[in-house]
Amino acid sequence: MSPRKAVAQELTKEMVMGAARELFRNQGYQQVSMRKIASKLGYSHGSIYYHFKNKADLFYAMIESDFKLLDQWLDDVMGEDVDNEGKFKGILLAFIRFGLTYKSQYEMMFMLADEEVKCYVSNGPNESYEKFSNALRQLSNREVTIQQTWSIFLSLHGFVSHYCHCDETFEDVENLARSHVDFIMKSIG
């Protein structure tokens, strides 16, 4: 039996999720195995099983972590010391900023078309959408319907989706993002 190879650092869940995210994004869920993830990291595939029982468990943990991060961004805006209109705009801009700051996470959260993994992306989106919807209703000076909330989400999603596949950062398109948010604000009165 050969001695265990020394590693530069202990393998963490975050390291595994980062490597998996990149592979899933570039190759698709079906094409990625636990062995491929381990190989990318330079570890044995057995070391990944210490953190995740299988690829589906890894994917689920990754997506849940990403939605919790988005929720934290929305919570941060809600905690700001500005008026309701400022928070409303802040929520919309935070969604765009999140999507363009974490492009690969955003794509996995909202744009992955693989049928096998859709069942793993169930609770996180619903909870985040509900948080988003509640924030809009709470901050608006008039009733925001479910249809309006959905239209706002789709408008933001369209903006983020367009720039997800470009090299631009949020800072590069911030003026466009602000104009887009102003347009949305005017449309709901």
The answer to whether residues 124 and 64 touch, using CB atoms and an 8 Å cutoff, is yes
Matching residue, tokens 């409303």: 88
Question: Would the pLDDT of 73 be above 90?
Answer: yes
For CA atoms 176, 179, 183, 189, the dihedral sign is positive
Which segments of the chain belong to CATH 1.10.10.60? 1-52
Q: Tell me which residue of 112, 96, 67 sits closest to 155, measured CA to CA.
A: 96
Q: Is pLDDT at 1 greater than 50 in this prediction? A: no
pLDDT of the residue at 179: 97
If one counts every other C-beta atom within 10 angstroms of the C-beta of residue 59, the result is 24
Model confidence at 106: pLDDT above 80:
yes
* pLDDT for res 104: 85
26 touches 48 (CB < 8 A): no
- What digits encode the pLDDT tens for the residues 130-166? 888 889 888 887 788 889 999 999 999 999 999 988 8
How much is the pTM? 0.84
Confidence of residue 2 (pLDDT cuts 50, 70, 90): very low
The predicted pLDDT at position 56 comes to: 87
Q: So what's the pLDDT on residue 4?
A: 44
CATH class of the domain at 65-188: mainly alpha
50 has pLDDT over 80: yes
5-40: pLDDT as tens digits: 445 578 999 999 999 988 988 888 889 999 999 999
Task: Report, at the CATH architecture level, how domain 1-52 is classified.
Answer: Orthogonal Bundle (1.10)
Mean pLDDT of 41-66: 90
Q: Average per-residue pLDDT in the chain?
A: 87
Burial state string for 68-100 with b = 16 or more CB within 10 A and e = fewer than 16: eebeebbeebbeeeeeeeebbbbbbbbbbbbbb
Query: Residue 86 above 90 pLDDT?
Result: yes
H/E stretch holding 106 reads helix 103-110
Delimit the CATH 1.10.357 region(s) of the chain. Answer: 65-188
DSSP state of 132: H
Cβ-in-10-Å burial (0-12, 13-18, 19+) of 133 comes to middle
139: its two tokens: 């901050």
